[in-house]
Amino acid sequence: MSVEHELGDLSATELVAGFQRGDWTPVEAVDASLERIQRFNDAVNAYCHVDYEGAREAARASAARWKRGSPLSAVDGVPTSMKDLTEVRGMPAREGSLTTSTAACTRDAPPARAMREAGAVLLGKTTTPEFGCKGVTDSRVYGITRNPWDLSRTPGGSSGGAAAACALNMGVLHQGGDSGGSIRIPAAFCGVFGFKSTFGWVPQWPPSTMASLSHIGPLTRTVDDALLMLNVIGRFDPHDYFSVPGQPTDWGEQCRADGRLDGLRIAMCPTLGCAAPDRRILEHLGEAAERLEALGATVTRIEPEIESSLETYRVLWASASANQLSHIPAQHHGVMDPGLREIARFGEQFSAVDLLDAQTARTRLNGHLDRFFDSHDLMLTPSVAIPPFEAGHDVPPGSGMRDWMEWTPYSYPFNLTQQPAASLPCGFTDDGLPIGIQLAGARFDDARLLRACHAFLKAWPAAFPSAPQEASCGT
């Protein structure tokens, strides 16, 4: 096996250890990632822009720093991707839309700036649906992104390109964004780790249309790699109005224990009050509970006494979409995603009173879950109610569902409450499709959540595809 293929299989922590020992260089690591992109991207459509020359130039600069013994950080030289909603200097930000400019950005958004200043090598941009508008990844400008485990299925969204790239190690650290599950949904569908922190702990700019719902975070193969990334991007930034201080000095400090979870109180909530998950999802949720108990945690099946937050979220999301559409010239509306236009038109009917009522309901949900976490450390739920379905559709064909929010009842509640939440890979369906389970914590208790995630995936590491897989025979 070539050096490139060997390096292409490694995690960020393994790559950096090799840089330190002198076993390989950032140039070799970046070449390995670029080689995987060239081999796999035509099949999965994970990247919409790759900066080959810029990446190699940055890798050479990093190699020189490592040779001098003066790396900029623990991610210096690590191949990294940014979601296409994120501005990256020298790269376009089409945001999955035909209505945006093809010109290169002239500035870095906070995640890109922080990673660049830390010496990470920015490979390119990963695909997203138009303006991150839904829980799958396809757009009129870049086409359909596909699931590496079964190319006939969706990888989820809106960070579907990042999750697909992560599953195939087309780059090692991947930035996603999450306003309703857009990190956790594709993490679950692609069998990788996805984490959204407490709101405001990972800065972003410019703000999204519904800024108080939006979180930035990593998609990685391991929790250790996510911690490396969080130690760079998870820092207070006064230029982000919503950024708040208080982040851990070392996001992974609590993860360096013995891997036990003794004394941890976890509430298993199969329906989160009102969801109806697929039977296969429930089976793996039960298995996850048993694994957490084997690590020493106490898992209690209990449901929080909360009402469905679907309509609350839908009012906020639709209103934000209507606002977004209002700033795009009417002559361009015809080239936009039909689902985005539909939800925007739906949002136009809401009044200021409706919006304030939704905010009141959101506050009520926050209060219920704050009290729930007084007696529980973490909550265990499915990540998504169903396994991955056919690509190119916003909802499972024949389901009768109206939009993506109906099959993602476990994700957007934690955007409404701004709590930290993560999706962890937890096995496969009989036909080889990944299943994810979600752990959520109280606001600002990210360290405890990450400790549980770290212990879980250390004891039961995830498996990954060696190459994009053709369609399975099952359904």
Q: Are 88 and 107 in contact (CB under 8 A)?
A: no
Give 279 or 3, the one with higher predicted confidence: 279
Fill in the amino acid letter for 210. Answer: M
pLDDT on residue 390: 98
Residue 399 catalytic? no
Residue 158 catalytic? yes
**Any domain includes 473:** no
Q: What is the mean pLDDT of residues 386-396?
A: 98
pLDDT on residue 423: 98
As a whole number of angstroms, the distance between CA 245 and CA 236 comes to 5
Q: How far is CA 405 from CA 283, 289, 375, 408, 411, in A?
A: 23, 26, 29, 5, 9
Q: What is the mean pLDDT of residues 311-319?
A: 97
Is 6 a residue whose pLDDT tops 90? Answer: no
Question: Both tokens of residue 366?
Answer: 């926050």
pLDDT tens sequence across 180-208: 999 999 999 999 999 999 999 999 988 88
Q: What is the mean pLDDT of residues 417-438?
A: 98
What is the pLDDT confidence band of residue 472, given thresholds at 50, 70 and 90?
Answer: low
What residue numbers bound the domain in which 161 lies? 3-459
C-alpha closest to that of 459 among 299, 287, 301: 287
Q: What is the mean pLDDT of residues 357-386?
A: 97
pLDDT on residue 207: 84
What is the pLDDT confidence band of residue 273, given thresholds at 50, 70 and 90?
Answer: confident
Q: Which of 62, 139, 182, 383 is catalytic?
A: 182
**Any domain includes 196:** yes
**Any domain includes 474:** no
- Kind plus residue range of the DSSP H or E element containing 177: strand 173-178
Q: Which of 11, 33, 81, 83 is catalytic?
A: 83
Q: Are 384 and 425 in contact (CB under 8 A)?
A: no
Is 101 a residue whose pLDDT tops 80? Answer: yes
Q: How far is CA 213 from CA 122, 207, 210, 339, 353, in A?
A: 26, 10, 6, 20, 19
Residue 214 catalytic? no
b/e code 36-72 from CB counts within 10 Å (16+ = b) = bbeebbebbbbbbbbbeebbbebbebbbebbeeeebb
**Any domain includes 53:** yes
Q: What is the mean pLDDT of residues 22-33?
A: 98
**Any domain includes 380:** yes
Domain count, the chain: 1
What is the pLDDT confidence band of residue 3, given thresholds at 50, 70 and 90?
Answer: low
pTM for the model: 0.97
**Any domain includes 175:** yes
What is the pLDDT confidence band of residue 127, given thresholds at 50, 70 and 90?
Answer: very high
Backbone φ and ψ for 161, nearest 5 degrees, come out as -65, -40
CATH number for the domain spanning 211: value is 3.90.1300.10
Q: What is the mean pLDDT of residues 129-155?
A: 98
As a whole number of angstroms, the distance between CA 17 and CA 95 comes to 35
**Any domain includes 183:** yes
C-alpha closest to that of 16 among 173, 199, 235, 201: 173
Fill in the amino acid letter for 424. Answer: L
What is the pLDDT confidence band of residue 256, given thresholds at 50, 70 and 90?
Answer: confident
Backbone φ and ψ for 187, nearest 5 degrees, come out as -60, -45
Q: How far is CA 117 from CA 26, 34, 67, 131, 257, in A?
A: 16, 21, 18, 27, 30
Is 1 a residue whose pLDDT tops 80? Answer: no
Contacts with 91 (C-beta within 8 Å, 6 or more apart), sequence order? 49, 51, 82, 104, 105, 122, 124, 125
Number of Cβ within 10 Å of residue 396's Cβ equals 16
Q: Which of 33, 158, 243, 321 is catalytic?
A: 158
**Any domain includes 237:** yes
Beta bridge partners of 441: 378
Lowest mean pLDDT among 6-10, 11-15, 72-76, 456-460: 6-10
